[in-house]
Amino acid sequence: MVRTSWIAYVGKISLDKGVHLLIAAMPEIVAQVPSAHLLLIGDGVVRPHMERMVTALDRGDLDGAARAIAASEGVPYPNRYIRYLSEFWASLNLDLYRQRAQQAGLTRRILFVGAQAPPDVAQLLRLADLGVVPSLVKEAFPLVSIEALSSGLLPVAPYTGGLRPILDQITLELGPIGRLARLDPSPERMGLELVERIPFLLDCVADPSQRAWISDRCRRIAERYDWQRVTREIEQVYRGIVERRGSPMVLMNDSPPGADDPKTTPLREGQPLALAMLGGA
């Protein structure tokens, strides 16, 4: 029996997160990896439109899929996201794509499970084979990618914004395989990048020894973002700043008389540490 290969997305079901492009990429991904399935963990006002998009694609109805996206409510500039979808389709052989979409059985391969409690998200990620963050906007902090890494899951994400440092770490740990997790952040390229990268990476993790090696290194990266470790490192930085100023680190609720400007007044015994962090000499 062929083992199911699960691609996991965690987050808001929205157009700016690129979920529609991930869905659109599935016929091409399934053509290369017949065991591929997509797990969408999250919710959003656009979810019903995404579900209608899947139903339309299952029939090979590209116009219907585009109309489902165009009908999305509360989405600024929906035509922009339809354009990205059209540009992806334009890069393909459409007759072959329609045929693959009809043969893929997308309505049974793409599973919407809605928003889940954190423990359940962690459990679902542990069952998955690959994580995908196809965001079309810059992410400030790669929380979802860190969650994937902590579950031993390699996250495939655009090389932009707050995702860049963590993708650099992935490349450092995993070499060429890690580099393949870095997507071109251009929205016009996102769909094609997903089609090119995901099948190869699914093949990589299909090998048990390779998967164990990748998972071990993913967890090793996640440990660097452990909140307790980060807190300790920040505390060490703050202590170092205070020690270099040659003043004791004393926490008090009130400043002593005369400490009017923390940016120009030296840190004195009894002065709050918070004021020193603001620039007290």
Residue-level pLDDT at 73: 72
How far is 180 from 160, CA to CA, in rounded Å? Answer: 14
Same domain, 218 and 257: no
Residue-level pLDDT at 236: 67
Same domain, 138 and 245: no
Backbone region of residue 220 per phi and psi (left: phi > 0; alpha: psi in -120 to 50; beta: other values): alpha
Same domain, 151 and 261: no
Same domain, 152 and 103: yes
Comparison of pLDDT for 90 and 251, the residue scoring more: 90
Same domain, 153 and 240: no
No. of H helices and E strands in the chain? 14, 6
Cβ contact 272:262 at 8 Å: no
Residue 184 pLDDT grade (very low, low, confident, very high; cuts 50, 70, 90): very high
**Range name among 83-97, 112-126, 141-155, 222-236 with the lowest pLDDT average:** 222-236
Give the containing element (helix H, strand E) for 158.
strand 155-158
Residues 23-28, mean pLDDT to the nearest whole number: 98
Residue-level pLDDT at 60: 97
Confidence check: pLDDT of 151 > 70? yes
Confidence check: pLDDT of 126 > 90? yes
Q: What is the share, in percent, of the chain residues with pLDDT greater than 70?
A: 82
Residue-level pLDDT at 115: 97
Same domain, 79 and 217: yes
Same domain, 70 and 177: yes
The torsion angles phi and psi of 10, rounded to 5 degrees, stand at: -125, 125
Confidence check: pLDDT of 40 > 60? yes
Domain containing residue 181: 5-223
Per the structure, the count of domains in the chain is 2
Q: What is the CATH number of the domain that holds 62?
A: 3.40.50.2000
Same domain, 178 and 110: yes
Domain boundary among 179, 206, 223: 223
Same domain, 93 and 149: yes
Same domain, 69 and 118: yes
How far is 59 from 57, CA to CA, in rounded Å? Answer: 5
Instruction: Read off the DSSP letter of residue 75.
Output: -
Same domain, 67 and 11: yes
Residue-level pLDDT at 262: 45
